[in-house]
Structure 1
Amino acid sequence: MTPRRLGLSALAVPAAVLFLAGCGDTGGLEGAGPTPTAVGPRHLWPSLPPASAPADDYGAGETQVVRGVPVPDGDLRKVDPVAVIRAQAASDPDTYKEVKKGLDDCGAPGPKGPDCPVLQAYYSDLTGNGKDDMVVGVRAPKGQLVVRVYMFADGKLTQIMNDEDAVISVQLADRSVVVRAVADLSGYEYRTSWSYDSHQRAMLPTRDEIVRTGPPTTPVPETPSAEPTRSASPSAS
């Protein structure tokens, strides 16, 4: 018997005496009824052997060193994100085959055009090393968006996150990158929080969930029109 349990049993005797002495008085202690029994998790199929490989490749934990891009004073704010994407496209042309077509419109030389797929970069200390990391977005075909995070440590520029999805929005929350994406179910969306793992030295999807955002919508069938509308006709320009 533990000392704590000894103390509780010692207090039980005076409490019983007081209860008997106060029998018949109003305002005494009353029982709250039976306490429901706690139910723990049930282990289903205990004889089933565990899986040895993941079902699909999520891309989590993969890193890539970007070569040929200098980082002045170790400050990623002084690095052109277009130069980073171009360096990666040069080293892996098959992966960047579709994106590479729009890099010619990203300037340097010349002004940056509207067809440049590389979006504005954002900076935040996501790794906790006291230095700003760089978050880059790249537009991909079919309305997809590639979200990447780069860090500079040990003299190396390293890509520590790579996520491609039908993105609704991207948010920075403390030291996490929260990606909202279109879900397969109407009225729902995917939300994935990527956070830095110091053991893996990469951003990992520490929280991945499907969230209800509203009632399901019913697609409205299109009605073919007999004549083209004014807005659908080609302009003179």
Structure 2
Amino acid sequence: MPLSRPTRTALAVIAVVLSAAVTACGDAGGLRGAGAAPTANSPARLWPELPPASSPAFDFDEAERKTVKGVTVPGDDIRKVDPPAVVRAEIAADPGDYRGDKARYRGTASRMVDCQEGAEGCPVLRPYYRDLTGDGHDDLTLGFRLLPGELTAVRVYTVEEHRLVQVMSYEDALSAVELAGRSVIVRSPSEVAGYEYRLQWTWDAEQKAMLLTHDEMLRTGGGTQPPQESRHQSQSSPRPSRSPSASAR
């Protein structure tokens, strides 16, 4: 049976007292130094003489919104939207990436012609539904493979005024994708052994879009090999990358 909060508190106090008594029995007493404490330093501002920038140097697509044309939302219920139809609408709206011999993702376009949700060979992954915008209605998190290659596209859609609206777009080689609260978290492999990228998009009510709120390189453990050449190159955004695999970072 779980202990109540008062009971747990009382037991914790008794444990502390007993621990102190045991320590006292084996110690001659007196204070012991723990070593020199590190000096606290406040942030140092560099180059204060530089004038502040008035506009961004690059277009990061940080508040990208796009109405999906050609896809209806029956009864404003996003669960009734056909995910393959959403991907086909994207292909139709941006044929340069998907059509022609030089298109980057022509393999996706060819497989989407007869693609049915859940069918073998269909690039569209299982859709997930969760209220990410806080309006009390489910939103759609959709993923699909970009072929040929190892990239996966991640998109988030909501419903506004009876229309399907894309509020987040990203593609990369993925380690994992997670939903947490109002956020979408994407993990991607790094060329540095033992590390991964962690990017988090969070819904912003003012911009009415998912904004990139965290961009981190985290240690995952294991591996001490030197960085390897990237096997892929995502070109989803003109944003300057810190590695060939991170075009939107």
Give the TM-score normalised by the residue count of structure 2. 0.67
- Residues 72-95 of structure 1, C-alpha deviations (whole Å, 9 max, x = no match): 111111111111111121122113
Deviation larger for 47-56 or 141-150: 47-56
Structure 1 alignment gaps of length 5 or more: 1-34, 220-237
Q: Describe the SS at the equivalent of 2:92.
A: helix
- 1:105–1:112 Cα contact (<8 Å) kept: no
1:117 equivalent in structure 2: 123
2:88 aligns with: 86
Which residue number corresponds to residue 60 of structure 2? Answer: 58
Task: Verify: 1:185 aligned to 2:187, yes or no.
Answer: no
Identity %: 49
| Conserved? CA contact 1:104–1:116, under 8 Å | no
Q: Deviations over 1:114-137 (max 9, x none)?
A: 221111110000000110000000
Residues paired across the two proteins, number: 183
Letter in 2 for 1:64: K
TM-score (norm 1): 0.70
Where 1:94 maps in the other structure, the secondary structure is helix
AA matched with 1:162: S
**Partner residue, 2:142:** 136
Mark the CA change 1:57 to 1:96 in structure 2 (over 3 Å): closer, same or farther: farther
Q: Is the CA contact 1:139–1:146 (under 8 Å) kept in the aligned structure 2?
A: yes
Aligned to 1:95: 97
SS at match of 2:43: coil
- Worse overlay, 129-138 or 177-186: 177-186
Could you tell me which of 57, 67, 70 is aligned with 2:69? 67
* 2:113 maps to amino acid: D
1:167 match: secondary structure: coil
1:185-213, Cα deviation, whole Å (9 max, x unpaired): 11100111111111111101111111000
Task: Give the C-alpha shift of residue 155 in structure 1.
Answer: 2.0
Q: Which runs of 5+ in 2 are unaligned?
A: 1-36, 100-104, 227-249
Equivalent residues of 1:144, 1:166 under 8 A apart: yes
Question: What amino acid is the match of 1:135?
Answer: T
**Partner of residue 164, structure 1:** 171
Is 1:39 the counterpart of 2:27 in the alignment? no
Q: CA 1:46–1:139 in structure 2 vs 1: closer, same or farther (change >3 Å)?
A: same
Distance in 2 separating the partners of 1:215 and 1:56: 35
| Separation (CA, whole Å) in 1 of partners of 2:113 and 2:61 | 28
Cα separation, partners in 2 of 1:95 and 1:36, compared to 1, 3 Å: closer
The answer to whether structure 1 residue 211 and structure 2 residue 218 are counterparts is yes
Pair 45,176 (structure 1): closer, same or farther in 2 beyond 3 Å: same
CA distance in structure 1 between the partners assigned to 2:132 and 2:153 by the alignment: 18
Distance 1:56 1:101, change over 3 A: farther
Contact 1:76 1:133 (8 Å CA) reproduced: yes
Change in CA separation of 1:49 and 1:173 when aligned onto 2, cut-off 3 Å:
same
Classify 1:210/1:80 alpha carbon distance in 2 versus 1 (closer, same or farther; 3 Å): same
Compared with structure 1, are the counterparts of its residues 177 and 86 closer, same or farther at alpha carbon in structure 2 (3 Å cutoff)?
same
**Aligned equivalents of 2:170 and 2:195: distance in 1?**
20
CA separation of 1:184 and 1:52: change in aligned 2, threshold 3 A: farther
Matched residues in 2 for 1:212 and 1:95: separation?
Answer: 34
CA RMSD in angstroms comes to 2.3
The alpha-carbon deviation at position 57 of structure 1 amounts to 4.0
